[in-house]
Structure 1
Amino acid sequence: MDDPYAQSAEYIDLLIADAWGLFAPGLSEALHELRGETGVTVDLGAGTGRGVAVICASLPDGSPVLAVEPSPALRAVLLARAHEDERLSSRVTVSSADALGVPLPDRVRALVAMNMIGHLSPDDRHELWAGVVPRLVRGGRVVVNLAPPTRPVEVPRTRMASRSVGSLTYEGWASARAVGERQIRWRMTYLTRSPEGSPVSEVAVDYDWWVMDEAELREELAEHGLTMRQIGHPDAGLYVATRAQD
């Protein structure tokens, strides 16, 4: 397969650490409400496994987790994280399928989709919700986040994250331009800098992203019988949705 993260994977886990510091409390809060339910928690687009670690810490009852990550490069980090942590290794099953191709469990405790919903077109999202909602246990929920921008606008080049390891500094820069009524094209640039600040290496990756705002997501989920509310820190853009009748 064509892995969009093949060139940038070495930077991803390092540079999303601060973002997960923002996401983790809201995700944990959403999952703590499910302690009395059984079923599998599905993490779509699990990436390097930071979300998987939060999920397992939030549901410390041995309940299973299905971590879905189609990128071989990111999946390698995910598998290493799950294998090395005994709190994860007995609970986490890693799938190489994509969001629409993975066979879903009959009973889904929660579906977590962090930093990935923009990879799916509106038609793809409707297919996903239609497949997930009938499998949600009573009180089960969907947890997603929306990252800016929520409209197809130009985003000037901005440094998104920076981390130092040893004597080197790793930076992630992002810019975007509109490529359709609901899409933008991100240009992600990853830099490694020497102690003096000069570039040691540089990688640039482009990918398309579907955008939407809170109202659009709320309406879309309502069409599938889900009621949505914001959770966690306001800057996290995190939402939890449950069946309207639950």
Structure 2
Amino acid sequence: MKGDRMTETTSDAYYRSGEFLDVLSLDAWEHLGGPVRAALQGAPRELPIADLGAGSGLGVLVAARALPGAEIVAVEPSIVQRAALLARVGTDRELRQCVTVVAADAQTAELPERLGAALAINMIGHLAPDARRALWHRLADRLAAGAPLVVNAQPPAEAVTVPESEFAAVRVGRHTYRGSGSAEPVSDGEVAWHMRYQITDDQGRTVRDLRVTYRWHVVSVAALSDELAEAGFTVTAGPLDVLRAVR
């Protein structure tokens, strides 16, 4: 039996900010849900779905509703995100029957030999270009004929400066959770995101104020489509830069 390393949390990009991510992602997934569901249509339900970088499980919910009864392998390396993911799955009897949570990253996770679909939503910026291309080839070997790989490209498409802006604000009880961020180039293909997470009370007073920085590999829709085509996929672009790739 493999034991968890004590240093796991130090390499977790979301160790400090993870508690904010689910609630601040709800609105984004309200918009993403439709394009992702549409891209999953036609997936063979008798084969498992891999959700790579499943986060807190918002994409798992979309996949489970799009393909009722299908087995889902939810892969998530962040211990904080995985805790939220398992809590979401654990409170739903149907999800408990079909979702397996795997503590690994997309490159090294043990995946079923054949897949009926794969999701890689809001996560590819964590992968350097070579790792990204290797992942597309790995998935191409496992996806059944016609089974979709659903992936999205997130801005910025190039390594440019992004001014500070608020991306979400959600009221929970007497508190409002806010997320904002800015980015600056650190190389030709990478930016550093400087994120700020705040909690304010019903009087507007700051309860918590957290700042974190993480690196992100940028990629355009065109470049991502080219990578997928090189791996043997036929790519269709949908709303919100959600791509459906099939072989």
Give the TM-score band, short-chain normalised. Answer: over 0.9
Q: Does 1:79 align with 2:86?
A: yes
Letter in 2 for 1:53: L
**In the alignment, which residue of structure 2 is the partner of 1:225?**
232
Please state whether the residue corresponding to 1:82 is helix, strand or coil: helix
What is the CA deviation profile of residues 121-169 of structure 1, one whole-angstrom value per residue up to 9, with x for unaligned ones? Answer: 1110111111110111111111011111101000111001000011111
Number of aligned residues: 238
Separation of aligned partners in 2, 1:130 and 1:183: 22
What is the CA deviation profile of residues 141-199 of structure 1, one whole-angstrom value per residue up to 9, with x for unaligned ones? Answer: 11011111101000111001000011111000110000001000001110000112121
Identity of aligned residues (%): 41
**TM-score calculated relative to the size of structure 2:** 0.94
Question: Does the CA-based 8 Å contact 2:196-2:209 persist in structure 1?
Answer: yes
TM-align CA RMSD: 1.0
Question: Tell me, which stretches of 5 or more residues in structure 1 are unaligned?
Answer: none
Identify which of 123, 128, 135 aligns with 2:135. Answer: 128
Please state whether the residue corresponding to 1:15 is helix, strand or coil: helix
Please state whether the residue corresponding to 1:200 is helix, strand or coil: strand
Q: Does 1:138 align with 2:145?
A: yes
Identify which of 233, 242, 245 aligns with 2:246. Answer: 242
Q: Does 1:33 align with 2:42?
A: yes
**TM-score calculated relative to the size of structure 1:** 0.94
Deviation at 1:205, TM superposition (A): 1.1
Question: Where has structure 1 moved over 6 Å in runs of 4 or more?
Answer: none
**In the alignment, which residue of structure 2 is the partner of 1:17?**
26
Separation of aligned partners in 1, 2:209 and 2:183: 18
Separation of aligned partners in 2, 1:4 and 1:119: 10
Matches within 5 A, 1:157-176: 157-176=164-183
Question: Does the CA-based 8 Å contact 1:56-1:87 persist in structure 2?
Answer: no
Question: Tell me, which stretches of 5 or more residues in structure 2 are unaligned?
Answer: 1-7
What is the CA deviation profile of residues 39-92 of structure 1, one whole-angstrom value per residue up to 9, with x for unaligned ones? Answer: 1100000000010011011111x2210000011101001001111111211000
Question: Does the CA-based 8 Å contact 2:17-2:212 persist in structure 1?
Answer: yes
